[in-house]
Structures are given as structure tokens and as C-alpha cells.
A and B are shown apart, each in its own frame.
Chain A
Amino acid sequence: MTYSTQLIKDLRYKAITVRENILRMIPPGKVGHLGGSSSIADVMAALYFHKMNVNENDPKDPTRDRLIMSKGHAVLVQYACLAELGYFPKEELDKVKTYEGMLQGHPDMDRTPGIEAVTGSLGQGLSVSLGLALGLRLDKSESHVWTILGDGELAEGQIWEAVMASAVFKVDNLTAIVDFNEVQATSSTKEIFPIPNLPEKWASFGWNVIEIDGHDMGQILKAIDEATAHKGKPTVIIAKTVKGKCFPFAEGKAKYHNAAMDEAEYQTALGCIAKMREEVEK
């Protein structure tokens, strides 16, 4: 599969806008999950602005594809995509995690159009996605279910219950994407809780495994197309990413898992956005 230079350029541009929207939600002094939102921003852009069948004018359209943010703390990146698509006014981004706003600290399907489940207590999203995939299959639906998992989240035992069950039920309308940024809340995954041989683990559990650079738009597009084309078993895309990607002061740092930027950092981050735009436009 090949993808036009224009498509890749457009999606890279979208990913920059997604990161800009993330920054809008966490102005200087406001705590937010910058690191794990930025790491998966390119994948999310490819899904929301190209691959997925979604309809901002009818968020409950039964034919839509579903995306479950199992690593619910990184919901800022999902809000960033949904706002860009027009699910809600962008002004809502300024009110994230406030009493009056519709954007909760973790995904809340009752408050926010476009959010498909309640997640945040880690380890449950893949199971919810499996149930959704089974239900859609019973209805002979063409819809696909995408689940975003954190690599730190994979320490939750329920993930592996769902990995086994998804293989047993042969759900090929379900794709898991691991945001493999190798940093969790307090330190690197290697230091906190290493999970060796991850691709081999998923493969031995009966999944189709694809490994990619999660910031290379060409690789992302190819992987998500392969995932939906693969029949008979579920697919996992292990996306090698950088936590805090595009913001040098935050890249690879556990501190920015959930932190507030100061004014200088924020200006640096905005500068990064402007610079990336220039590069893509070249």
C-alpha cells in the first residue's frame, strides 16, 4: 500500500493542530497529561482524520467506528481531535477539568459527544472494546473498534484476560494500539515494571502483531489499513513512540506524564508548533 505525499502531509499537519489543541487545554500552571497525549497524537490524527468512519453531526450514528481510550488519562488528545472535527465548540477546550465544562478529567460518555465509554481505571478498555466488537458482530455491522492502550497499563492483569478472550472469539473488527512510549507515571517502564518481549507475547496469545514507528505517518497509515484487512484474528499495533513528542523539554520525561508547564515552557511549546508547521509546509 502506498499513500500520496499530500495525504501524509495533510495528516502531519492535522497532528500538529491536535498537539496545539492539547496545549490550549493546559495553559501555564494548569496540570494535565501532556506526555501520554503527545505520544499518541500522530496515530490519533490518522485514525480520526482519515481512517475512521465518524460523523460529528451524528455522534451516535450506528454505522460509526468506535475508539476507546483505555489509557483514559490521555483523553486530552481525544478531546483535541473531537474539537477539531466539530463535536463540540473549541471553547470547551479552555474548560477542561472544570465543574462547568463538558470535558472531564477522564473520558465520560455521558458528558462528551464522541466519547464511547467510561475509562480511566486502567486495564478495562480492551475488555469493553471486546464486548463492543462482539455486539457489533452479532448485528453484522461493518464498524471497527479501536482501542488505545498505554504500555504502563499493560501491567494490569485484566488486559491479558481480554487479550486471551479476544483471540478465543476471533474478533477481527477490533484493533488494539499500544502507545509504546516506555515511560509511565513515575519513571521509565524499564525501571518501574518491564514487560519483555511484548510483540512475542501478543503473538503467542493469538494476535496479529504489527510494529511501527508511531510518529511516522506513512507507517501508521499502512499499519491501520493492514489491521482492518487482516481477517480471522484481532490485530495489535505496537507503536514505538516518544512520551511528550514534539516538546523537547518534555520528551521522554516522566515528570510530564501529568504536570503543569511554566510560562517559559509553554512559550517553547508554542514555538515548537509554529516550527513544525513551517517544516510540513515546506
Chain B
Amino acid sequence: MRSSNSLRKTYGETLVELGKENKDIVMLEADLGNSTMSGLFLAEYPERYFQVGIAEQNMASVGAGLALAGKIPFINSFAVFASGRAYDQIRSSITIPNLNVKICGSSAGLSDFGDGKTHQSVDDIALMQVLPNMTVLSPVDAVETEQMVKAMVEGSGPMYLRINRNDLPVVTDPSEPYYIGKMTKLREGSDVVVFATGIMVQQSLEAAKILEDEGISIRVINVSTIKPLDVEQIIAHTEGMKGVVTAEEHSVIGGLGSTIASALSKSRLPIELLGIQDQYGTSAENYEILLQAYGLEPSDVASRVRSVLEA
């Protein structure tokens, strides 16, 4: 069990641990290893650490080649570059042949607050989940990050892991077994179900407290496997509810919200999609300013819940 609240530190440390037993794990780096924390691998296993320079496209295809040789390559960059800069390489070299390449998109969403729109990913979930064969994971905390990294090593096929730069409080139970596709109910409620991913799970749990004082009860579901999405569970969680809210730190186009909305296309419940509204990020002094500016605070979740109840 990890005491750290850092997802990226946990990511790097978990791979160092797993790399001790599993000699097939190899790490690929495009000069951001100090941020993604994949750089921790270098000190322990220099022969299995490949610094390719600032060349994400090459990194993705080299990863494909390593997978062809039976290795389990993890390729690392900021989410925006890991998914977008190397998109066709991921498509052609990795997902068409369904190769066992793991991609870590770090500093996802707006969490790289200072660097601005070129470095903030509002579109990585959309880009990755549209690719056939790709699994898309979005952990809620460090505990789930560790579980996911283990599952990524054990499972085969291309997988994309989206993790935040900032720390997040632990909200999951490390003693609970994990599997890819798992969906966790973190709070029971009776009026509205909120499907959230990443930092928005935490925001939704905070929103639940605000709403409780108003006599509104929400069920909060951590959807950390965005693809493959467990549609049956999604539908089951909406039963008896008066409305649905989705919450993500990503564009509402092509992300968790639109995927759940299409999964619920036969539902008569009102659905509100909370997320980034078809726009890019921007620089700020800190992350909190951006969460406020882009409407990703607990109060925003609360207002969307009220809104579906009024619908």
C-alpha cells in the first residue's frame, strides 16, 4: 500500500518494482523522464531504458518493434504528446497489429497548469479511445495507479494510461481486488448518479457534501476504465435515478461524457456532460485557478446535478 498521493511517482516506482522480477519490461523516454517519473527506471535497469531524445513518433514505433521482440515497452511523455504527436505511429505501428505497447500520458488535462494550451491535453481520451484494440485507463488515485500498472504488465495489447501531474487524495481501498474494466461506487446516493473520472471523482465526492446539505443525494461512480466501458454496469447504476451527470477533465466531445451518453441513448433520463467545453487550456499560476475557470470545481458538479433535477 502506498502512502504517496502522487500518481506519477507511484507510476515510476511501481515499474521499478515490477521490473525487478519481469525482465521484459522496458522503458522508452523522450526527455521528460523527470516529470513522468519513468526516469526512475534508469537508475535500476539502464540496459532496459531507452532515451530516444525529443522524438515521440520514433519512440512509439520503436516501442512497437520492442513489442515484436517480446518485450513489454512503456512509452512515456506528456499526455498531449504521447497521444497526439505520435498518433499515426500508435495507429499504424501499434494498434492495427494489436501490439503489447503501454503508453503513459502524463501531466494530463490541465494539470500542467503553467505550460499552457500546447501542453495541456483536452483531447487525449478521444484520440486514444477511438482506436480499435486500445484500452484507455484513467486512475483516480495512487492506489489505483499502482493496480493499473500491474494490470497493464499482466494484460496484453495496447493500453493508454492517463495520469495527472498533481497529487490526488487516496479514495480507493487498496485491499479491494483490481481488474481492467472495474467501475467503483465510491458513494451511494438516490437522486442523481455522477459518472466521473480522474480528478473529477474527487470533485464529485466534494460536491456530494454540498448537495447533502440541500437534501440532494448523489451516487458517485469512479469510471477509471474508459475503454472498454462496462455499459451494463453504467445502465445498472442509473436505475432508480432521476438524472445522470458525467464529469471529466477533458473535452466533452469524444471523452467519457459523450461515450456514456451514447451508452445511455435508450435511457429517458436527463444527462448533463461536465467537462471542457470545446476549447483549449491556458496558463495559470496554479491548477486551482484553471479548475475554477474551466468549471471543474465541486460547485460546478453540484450545479449540474441541480440542473438535471430541474430538467
Residues of A within 8 A of B (CB): 66, 108-110, 116-121, 124, 127-136, 138-139, 157-158, 161-162, 164-165, 168-169
The listed residue (B48, B65, B92) touching A129 by CB distance below 8 A is B65
Whether A165 contacts B65 in the complex (CB less than 8 A), given A124-B89, A138-B48, comes out as no
Q: Which residue of B lies closest to A133 (CB)?
A: B65
A-B contact pairs, 6 of them (CB 8 A): A127-B93, A128-B93, A134-B66, A135-B66, A161-B52, A161-B58
Report whether A128 and B65 are in contact in the complex, using a CB–CB cutoff of 8 Å. yes
Closest chain-B Cβ to A205's Cβ sits at a distance in Å of: 13
The listed residue (A117, A121, A138, A165) touching B52 by CB distance below 8 A is A165
Report whether A127 and B89 are in contact in the complex, using a CB–CB cutoff of 8 Å. yes
Asked whether B155 is an interface residue with its Cβ less than 8 Å from the other chain, the reply is no
Report whether B65 and A132 are in contact in the complex, using a CB–CB cutoff of 8 Å. yes
Report whether B26 and A124 are in contact in the complex, using a CB–CB cutoff of 8 Å. no
The listed residue (A117, A121, A128, A161) touching B88 by CB distance below 8 A is A121
Asked whether B169 is an interface residue with its Cβ less than 8 Å from the other chain, the reply is no
Closest chain-A Cβ to B166's Cβ sits at a distance in Å of: 31
What separation, in Å, do the CA atoms of A109 and B71 have in the docked complex?
A: 17
- In the complex, which range does the number of interface residues on chain B fall in? 20 to 34
Closest chain-B Cβ to A109's Cβ sits at a distance in Å of: 5
Q: Which residue of A lies closest to B56 (CB)?
A: A161
Excluding A66-B68, A118-B97, A127-B64, 18 further A-B contacts by CB distance (< 8 Å) are A110-B97, A116-B68, A117-B68, A117-B97, A118-B92, A120-B92, A124-B89, A124-B92, A127-B65, A128-B61, A128-B93, A132-B66, A134-B65, A135-B26, A135-B69, A135-B70, A138-B26, A162-B61
Q: Is the interface of B mostly helix, strand, loop or mixed?
A: helix
Residues from chain B with Cβ under 8 Å of A131 in the complex: 61-69, 73
Report whether A136 and B69 are in contact in the complex, using a CB–CB cutoff of 8 Å. yes
What separation, in Å, do the CA atoms of A124 and B91 have in the docked complex?
A: 11
Q: Is the interface of A mostly helix, strand, loop or mixed?
A: helix
Report whether B61 and A134 are in contact in the complex, using a CB–CB cutoff of 8 Å. no
Asked whether B132 is an interface residue with its Cβ less than 8 Å from the other chain, the reply is no
What separation, in Å, do the CA atoms of A132 and B58 have in the docked complex?
A: 13
Residues from chain A with Cβ under 8 Å of B52 in the complex: 161, 165
Q: Which residue of B lies closest to A163 (CB)?
A: B58
Residues from chain A with Cβ under 8 Å of B67 in the complex: 131
Residues of B within 8 A of A (CB): 26, 47-48, 50, 52-53, 55, 57-58, 60-71, 73, 88-89, 91-93, 96-98
Interface centre among B52, B69, B91, B98 (most CB of A within 10 A): B69
The listed residue (A108, A138, A165) touching B62 by CB distance below 8 A is A165
Q: Which residue of A lies closest to B70 (CB)?
A: A135
Residues from chain A with Cβ under 8 Å of B48 in the complex: 138
Closest chain-A Cβ to B74's Cβ sits at a distance in Å of: 13
The listed residue (B57, B69, B98) touching A132 by CB distance below 8 A is B69
Residues from chain A with Cβ under 8 Å of B92 in the complex: 118-121, 124
Total inter-chain residue pairs, C-beta < 8 Å: 106
What separation, in Å, do the CA atoms of A187 and B49 have in the docked complex?
A: 42
Residues from chain A with Cβ under 8 Å of B97 in the complex: 108-110, 117-118
Report whether A162 and B58 are in contact in the complex, using a CB–CB cutoff of 8 Å. yes
Residues from chain B with Cβ under 8 Å of A138 in the complex: 26, 47-48, 69, 71
Q: Which residue of A lies closest to B52 (CB)?
A: A165
Q: Which residue of A lies closest to B48 (CB)?
A: A138
Residues from chain B with Cβ under 8 Å of A164 in the complex: 53, 55
Residues from chain B with Cβ under 8 Å of A161 in the complex: 52-53, 55, 57-58
What separation, in Å, do the CA atoms of A130 and B88 have in the docked complex?
A: 18
Closest chain-A Cβ to B57's Cβ sits at a distance in Å of: 5
Q: Which residue of B lies closest to A117 (CB)?
A: B68
Q: Which residue of B lies closest to A126 (CB)?
A: B61
Closest chain-B Cβ to A116's Cβ sits at a distance in Å of: 7
Report whether A158 and B89 are in contact in the complex, using a CB–CB cutoff of 8 Å. yes
Closest chain-B Cβ to A131's Cβ sits at a distance in Å of: 2
Q: Which residue of A lies closest to B51 (CB)?
A: A168
Whether A128 contacts B62 in the complex (CB less than 8 A), given A118-B92, A118-B93, A158-B89, comes out as yes
Residues from chain A with Cβ under 8 Å of B68 in the complex: 66, 116-117, 128, 131-132, 135
The listed residue (A117, A133, A134, A165) touching B93 by CB distance below 8 A is A117
Interface centre among A116, A117, A164 (most CB of B within 10 A): A117
Residues from chain B with Cβ under 8 Å of A66 in the complex: 68
What separation, in Å, do the CA atoms of A158 and B54 have in the docked complex?
A: 12
Report whether B71 and A165 are in contact in the complex, using a CB–CB cutoff of 8 Å. no
Q: Which residue of A lies closest to B57 (CB)?
A: A158
Interface centre among A157, A165, A168 (most CB of B within 10 A): A165
Q: Which residue of B lies closest to A130 (CB)?
A: B62
Residues from chain B with Cβ under 8 Å of A130 in the complex: 58, 62, 65
The listed residue (B58, B69, B71, B96) touching A127 by CB distance below 8 A is B58
Q: Which residue of A lies closest to B55 (CB)?
A: A161
What separation, in Å, do the CA atoms of A94 and B99 have in the docked complex?
A: 29
Residues from chain A with Cβ under 8 Å of B89 in the complex: 124, 127, 158
Report whether B61 and A124 are in contact in the complex, using a CB–CB cutoff of 8 Å. yes
